[in-house]
Each structure stands twice: as structure tokens, then as C-alpha cells.
Amino acid sequence: MKVLMFGWEFPPHITGGLGTACFGLTKGLLKHGVEVLFVVPKAYGDESQEAVRLVNASDVVIDLKEEIYQEYWSKMTYVEIGSKLIPYFSPDDYFNLISKETLDDVEISQSLFSKQYIFSGKYGANLMEEVSRYAIVASKIAASNTFDVIHAHDWLTYRAGIAAKKISGKPLVVHMHATEFDRSGESVNQLVYDIEREGMHAADKVIAVSNLTRQIIIDKYGVDPDKVVTVHNAVEPVEHQEHIAADKGVKEKIVTFLGRITFQKGPEYFVEAAYKVLQKDPNVRFVMAGSGDMMNKMIRRVAELRISSKFHFAGFLKGDDVVKMFAQSDVYVMPSVSEPFGISPLEAMRSSVPVIISKQSGVSEILTHAIKVDFWDTDALANSIYGLLNYNALSKMFRHHGKVEVDNLKWENAAYSVKEVYQSTL
């Protein structure tokens, strides 16, 4: 079986968990005899191709005058953006929608419809323009390759998937890693929501990363429940983890938050719980690793609470730096307000770190040896942190059983389920 897969990032060039999940899934699919042609907007040349053949969309040359593209592109909508739109964060409010009902007799912008598009591969001010260009290039790639199924990850690639289906007639599977409701609460960005809905309704099957996400897809997007399938994520094993240095450089115990510092991840609840823990146990340091639109607000709040000497902002971490951070951690906390899945607790448990996660996370559906609290209950969160730091038997139990549990959550098992979804469309 051969799959044409569309993503937006691929390790080591990642912004969040999406690229990590794509990498693990493709490696798992290879073990089940599935060949993956993986398309990204921009390839840097140092990506691992052990499990995929990577296609750089920036290298694809097309001619929009070719008849094969005309039907699909007779109607097209694109967006001009006056401020940054980042798929993992809440989008800014300013959007200017430009709808071209038909391209006939319309002067085509050379910048948008040139024969070869050089993608930034970023999430900046021209993101929607790149999403539209990516869909155009997807038409060319679909027309030029042989494959059995199309697989598109998250809203950024849904229109590319639709274009590839239109050109090839092959079945489309879309993968929902996070909905607009997860990113923005009830204040959704209508443009992003519309693309998500369009992609899921055009798809033959929809993969959700948790039952929580599956229910949102059914309730909020009106998708037929019979075509929405839950496949939980997994985690990659770490080779030579025993050689990772765990020298903290400080005598205190370390509690870590690792994720985007944005509404969805609940960073403010971590800060408030840190303050409560420090009132009872000053022998603790808290680390917030990540970046995001709430960073400055969190820094100000830490200063207001006068805990700056015990609180550190580590910035965005990836790769070996994540493994090193976990090697130095005594507790990992994920207090997400809305988390479709959440791979980072699995990464922490893989490193024998006890974890506290919110009940409002998809990963809570599959984990047994993790402490689960409501994201808003900072008292329960603080008490859980204090307990894991001060009761050695409790900590030891979660370290041991947590690692055993997560070592059995393999990407090859998730990939087997994904392959079954592919086969159901053929």
C-alpha cells in the first residue's frame, strides 16, 4: 500500500507535537508495509527519511494553464492576513477575506500563481496564502505520482488533501490533531473552522487522536459518526537515554511545564499552583519550557507573586534538550484547558518522571499511572505536586509503573489502526 501524506512540518524542524506525531506514525506504518510519500511545504535537507520519501513542495513546478487544474481552481478562496496566524495559538482577530468566485477574466497575481512557489514553511503573516499555494502544488503532486490513499494532517493541509482527491479520485483520510475549539475555546476563528469542516466533510474517513476530539468533531462540525475513528497517539523510544546527563546544577527538586505558553495549555494554573507549593515547601524550583502569546503575562504574574527566584523560563525546547529537561525533572505537569491528546506526558513517563495531567486531556483516556486533576483546581494540582515531591513511595510507584505503561504505547500499534482505516476506504 502506498500513501500520499500531507504535513506542515517534519523533525527536526518542528513547532509543536504535530511534526513529532507524523514522524512516529510514518515509522510505524513502514513496519506494516505501508510506503509513505510525505509532502512538506519546505524541506531543509536534514530531515530523517528512514521511513518516508520526502517531497519538498518548494521544488515542484506547475503550469496552471494545464487543463487538469482548471475544474478544481475555477473557484478559489484565499485570505490576506494583516497579523500573525499560528496554528497552535489563538489566531489574531484581523482578517481580510477575499473571495474569487471564478478565475475567468480575473487578472492573476504573479506572486500567488507563479509556476514555482517557494514556501517559508513557517506560521507567519502569509500563512493562508501558503495554504492556498500548497493546495495548488498538491494537484501537481497527485497527478504525477501513484498511490492508493491520501492522508492530510490538520487544517493546514486539508485543502491540499481535497485537491489531491479531486485530481486523482483516490480516497481521502484527514487526521484531526487539534480542533479550532481546542486552540481558541468558543471564540473560534471562522476561517479556520470552515477549512476544518470542509476537510472533514470531504474526507472518506476522519481520524481523531482521542474520544474527546472525536466527540467535538461530531457535535461541533456535524460529521457523520460512522466515519470518525479514534486512534490514540504513542511515543518514540529514546535510544541511549541512560547516557543523558541528569546533573541539575541546583539542590532543589524540579517541577516542569513543557508546552506552548498559550490559553490551551493552561500555563496560568501552573504558576498559581507553584506559588501554593512554595508556601509549604521552598525547596523546589519550577521550570516553564516553551514559548507563546501568554509568555509576558506569565512573567509578570511570577513577579507579582514574588517567586521569581524559584521560577525559570527555559524557552522553546526540542530534540535532545527535551530529553535532558526530563532527566532533570522530579515531576511533570500538563494542566491543559483543552488537550486533544498530549504527547509530552508520554515523553516524561518514558524518562521515568511522574506526571500530573488535566482530566480535560485526551491522553487521560489511556493512562492509568498518572495523577489526573481538573485544570482549574489549583489546590488539587498543588497538593499533587507536593505529594509526589515529598512522599518517596508514591513517587517511586508512579516512576516505575508509568514507564512500564508508556513503553507499551508504541507507534507501530497506532499505525496498525491507521492502516485499517486506510483499508476501509479502498
C-alpha cell at 236: 518514540
Q: Which candidate, 46, 39, 34, places its Cα nearest to that of 3?
A: 34
Task: Report the distance separating Cα 390 and Cα 180, nearest Å.
Answer: 39
Q: Could you tell me if 19 and 159 lie in one domain?
A: yes
Task: Report the distance separating Cα 370 and Cα 362, nearest Å.
Answer: 13
Alpha-carbon dihedral of residues 335, 336, 337, 338, nearest 10 degrees?
Answer: -150
Task: Tell me if residue 186 falls in helix, strand or coil.
Answer: coil
Q: Could you tell me if 83 and 217 lie in one domain?
A: yes
DSSP one-letter string for 233-262: ---PPPTTGGGS----SSSSEEEEEES--S
Q: Could you tell me if 220 and 368 lie in one domain?
A: no
Q: Could you tell me if 279 and 265 lie in one domain?
A: yes
Q: Could you tell me if 214 and 248 lie in one domain?
A: no
Q: Could you tell me if 254 and 209 lie in one domain?
A: no
Task: Report the distance separating Cα 185 and Cα 337, nearest Å.
Answer: 9
CATH number of the domain to which 72 belongs = 3.40.50.2000
CA geometry: angle 23, 29, 33, nearest 5 deg = 145
Q: Could you tell me if 256 and 197 lie in one domain?
A: no
Instruction: Note the pLDDT of residue 76.
Output: 40
Q: Could you tell me if 221 and 250 lie in one domain?
A: no
Looking at the structure of the chain, the number of domains it has is: 2
Q: Could you tell me if 245 and 212 lie in one domain?
A: no
CB atoms within 10 A of CB 395: 18
Q: Cα-atom radius of gyration of the chain, to the nearest Å?
A: 22
Q: Could you tell me if 97 and 22 lie in one domain?
A: yes
Instruction: Note the pLDDT of residue 60.
Output: 82
User: Residue 260, class by beta-carbon neighbours within 10 Å (0-12 exposed, 13-18 middle, 19+ buried)?
Assistant: buried
Pairing, β 205-208 against β 355-358: unpaired
Statement: the pTM of the whole predicted model exceeds 0.85: no
Pairing, β 253-258 against β 228-230: unpaired
Exposure letters 210-237 (e unless 16+ CB within 10 A, then b)? bebbbebbbebbebeeebbbbbbbbbbe
| Cα-based distances in Å from 394 to 262, 267, 331, 343, 371 | 31, 25, 12, 23, 11
How is residue 151 annotated by DSSP? E
Q: Could you tell me if 206 and 317 lie in one domain?
A: no
Structural domain of residue 214, as residue ranges? Answer: 2-234+411-425
- pLDDT tens for the 426 residues of the chain, in order: 999 999 988 888 877 778 889 999 999 999 999 999 999 988 888 888 888 888 888 888 766 555 555 554 444 433 333 223 334 333 333 233 323 333 333 333 444 444 566 777 666 667 787 888 888 889 889 998 999 999 999 999 999 999 999 999 999 999 999 999 988 887 888 999 999 999 999 999 999 999 999 999 999 999 999 999 999 999 887 765 555 556 677 889 999 999 999 988 999 999 999 999 999 999 999 999 999 999 999 999 999 999 999 999 999 988 889 989 999 999 999 999 989 999 999 999 999 999 999 999 999 999 999 999 999 999 999 999 999 999 999 999 999 999 999 999 999 999 999 999 999 999
Dihedral sign computed on CA atoms, order 17, 232, 412, 152: negative
Q: Could you tell me if 184 and 278 lie in one domain?
A: no
